[in-house]
Structure 1
């Protein structure tokens, strides 16, 4: 692709040769050179049409080398500079077009790019209009301006402008961020807990698309942990609001599953490397495990509602055991999230240690609760609810174990590949 740029420049050189010797073209460019604002607009328009600032600047360089800006090379440089500044504004159209159907963060990034470039040109315009910028470029270039050096001088002018622009904006990056957040508002649905990094444009670059999918799986894991924490807190505290939140979070988890699965399904139809092909089914299996964790969180919420409806209470011993289970599965979740984020095998192995603890706790707590029922310390109904709670947490540990084993195995799936769900909203 980079080599083709130079091939294209060679074609453009041949195409623009008649213009270089045209008296009218020279008069037009000299006229624009005396009106820098119009030259900036012309540079903006050319770049927007080409959607490439590199190509637009190459055209300006070719015209300058051919003498289209006149034979006074200092004047030619001053004519070329406004076109170069205009190309910096025109190039923002590419980001704006790419961000139209994307999430709020992508739109804000596009507008930050636009504001950065337009403000930079606005700040540089007085120096260009007075000819000071051209004089500065001539002074820092260690060569005499001429037909063989004018193109390099234009490149130096562009580089100097971009460096100055960046130096001015660097200490004001926070101000720029606050401005675009205020200007680019969230659309309905932007604020919902859903995947935000699964861009269709990336599907043609499978390695990047796969990395974005992994990031969304990490977000899904964090969301599943929220559901679990809310459900266990709800059953321990008899808090109806936390139990209602569990179902809302489960809807988010289902949304993650649907969109990530659809995205990975669309990715599977592309030309993939062997490594990406191997990882795809493992990631699908991981998504399914996280969705099942969300289901178990809802199960716990339903158990809690039964407990509240029947006005049952856990004993202090049962509450202490529930808290131990929560802390163990919380730690296991943290290890899993860290393992997924960093592909950290050691954290995945630590999660497996937690799973062994959960299994032992399940056996121990079931026995101790049977003893409490036998001793009349709790009702049979309360005992069944507690055992259901313990069993659901243990099953959550099993699903987290599947994910840990996938990370330890280098995201290589040795079992039956999970079926990719088909849906009417699948990405093309």
Structure 2
């Protein structure tokens, strides 16, 4: 729109709209409104091959400018808009001053439009959400920054995929949080939330995997070629974490339906295992997001603790069942929880090992990781 408005300014200043400068301004303002509508084409074209969020943003931009122009047009022809411009720009119109006055009119339109639309943002969001639907096979609430046009620039595409893998990890973490909360507190709402989050994790897997497969069909250098399979394995590990979160949610549902309760000792031990898993998640996501090898090693440390806890807690719970403190039913639920947390830890360990190997396929094989396992065993 800047180029169009510059052209309008040039025409007005040269007298193309007449030398009655007030009339010239009133003729120029509709061109300004048209330029604001025309500029939406750029956003629409840019969003053609992108995801649903980008397309909705483009349409929100279009609606803002079109509705704003339709509201402003009657004000232009009644002279109210011109008078408002003169309030902001009180100088006398001439061949020289009509040019900055047109710029003021453009600014005034956008500023006033923004102020008016600000309280209507929620309404605008609902309209574009209902109007612009996901394409067939396009998942909602999952990866939103996987632009197809970046596939021709593999380094940028890979960086994008890694950023989405971090988001997927956060979704998996939240799914586990909801699942263990459901189990410990007996919350059906958290069970349902776990289902939604697990579906979101599955969507991430589908979209990221498809994106990486499409990237693999491009001409890639050795570094990108080695990183691709590692990222695919990370995605699969995160999806498995989501599955285990759903397992815990189903255990929670069984616990609620049968009105089962843990003993105080079982609650304390379960919370210890949950806290260790949460700390492991934090280290894993930090390592993944910042490529922090130190945090990746921290994940392996937590894995060793969770493995030891699994053995200890199973033994303690068998003793409680033998002593009659817990029933066989709650014992099965408790052991299922501990086993699922340990498996979640295993998948996070896989991701940490990949990062320690430099997220390169050759770096996570052979002797690179043997020392890590030895360190855990010691």
CA distance in 1, matches of 2:322, 2:345: 28
Conserved 8 A contact 2:28-2:102: no
CA–CA separation in structure 2 for the residues paired with 1:160 and 1:347: 54
Q: 1:57 to 1:307 in 2, by over 3 A?
A: closer
CA contact (8 A) 2:155 2:224 kept: yes
Deviations 1:349-391 (CA, angstroms, capped at 9, x unpaired): 5444433332332232233223334444345564454333212
- Structure 1 residue 392, shift from structure 2 partner: 1.7
Other-structure match for 2:215: 267
Which range moves more in the overlay, 395-404 or 109-118? 109-118
Summarize the alignment of residues 366-385 of structure 1 with structure 2, pairs less than 5 Å apart: 366-379=314-327, 382-385=330-333
List aligned pairs for 1:6-85, cutoff 5 A: none
Determine if the alignment matches structure 1 residue 114 to structure 2 residue 66: no
Bigger mean CA offset, 214-223 vs 340-349 = 340-349
Three-state SS of the structure 2 residue aligned to 1:184 is helix
C-alpha separation in 2, matches of 1:338 and 1:168: 43
Aligned equivalent of 2:342, options 394, 405, 409 = 394
Identify the residue that residue 181 of structure 1 maps to in structure 2. Answer: 125
- Call closer, same or farther: CA 1:164–1:70 in 2, change over 3 Å: closer
Unpaired runs of at least 5, structure 1: 1-52, 146-152, 417-428
Conserved in 1, the CA contact under 8 Å of 2:293 and 2:356? yes
Deviation for aligned residue 1:283: 2.3
Q: 1:410 to 1:58 in 2, by over 3 A?
A: farther
Counterpart position of 1:317: 265
What residue number does 1:216 align with? Answer: 164
| Structure 2 alignment gaps of length 5 or more | 366-378
Q: Is the 8 A contact 2:179 2:191 kept in 1?
A: yes
Query: What is the CA deviation profile of residues 61-112 of structure 1, one whole-angstrom value per residue up to 9, with x for unaligned ones?
Result: 99999x995999x99x978886566333212123234446765532442234
1:331 match: 279
Alignment size in residue pairs: 353
Q: Which sits farther off after the overlay, 248-257 or 79-88? A: 79-88
Deviation at 1:174, TM superposition (A): 3.4
Q: CA deviation at 1:322?
A: 0.9
1:184-333 correspondence to structure 2 within 5 Å: 184-186=128-130, 192-238=140-186, 242-243=190-191, 245-272=193-220, 276-304=224-252, 313-333=261-281
Distance in 1 (CA, whole Å) between partners of 2:49 and 2:57 is 13
Cα-to-partner distance string for 1:26-53 (whole Å, 9 max, x where unaligned) = xxxxxxxxxxxxxxxxxxxxxxxxxxx5
The correspondence for 2:303, drawn from 347, 351, 355, is 355
Deviation at 1:115, TM superposition (A): 4.7
RMSD over equivalenced CA pairs, Å: 4.8
TM-score (norm. length: structure 1): 0.62
Conserved 8 A contact 2:262-2:330: yes
Rounded Cα–Cα distance in structure 2 between residues aligned with 1:157 and 1:212: 44
Query: Structure 1's 69 and 240: CA in aligned 2 closer, same or farther, altered over 3 A?
Result: closer
Q: 1:158 to 1:376 in 2, by over 3 A?
A: same
Aligned pair in 2 of structure 1 residues 160, 355: CA closer, same or farther (>3 Å)? farther
Note if contact 1:82-1:128 (Cα within 8 Å) is conserved in structure 2: no
Partner secondary structure for residue 185 of structure 1 = helix
Q: Does the C-alpha gap of structure 1 residues 174 and 328 become closer, same or farther in structure 2, counting only changes over 3 Å? A: farther
1:177 deviates by 3.1
CA–CA distance in structure 2, aligned partners of residues 71 and 241 of structure 1: 69
Please give the alpha-carbon distance, in whole angstroms, between the structure 1 residues aligned to 2:291 and 2:264.
40
In 2, Cα distance between equivalents of 1:400 and 1:164: 54
How far apart are residue 289 of structure 1 and its match?
A: 0.8
Mapping of 1:132-143 within 5 angstroms?
none
- Tell me, yes or no, if the aligned pair for 1:108 and 1:180 is still in contact at 8 Å: no
TM-score, normalised to structure 2, is 0.69
Partner Cα distance (1:272, 1:176) in 2: 46
Please report how far the alpha carbon of residue 262 of structure 1 lies from its aligned counterpart in structure 2 after TM superposition. Answer: 0.5
Contact 2:49/2:148 (8 A) holds in 1: no
CA distance in 2, matches of 1:60, 1:300: 65
Contact 1:339 1:404 (8 Å CA) reproduced: yes
Query: 1:221–1:337: 8 Å Cα contact kept in structure 2?
Result: yes
Name which one, 1 or 2, has greater alpha-carbon Rg: 1
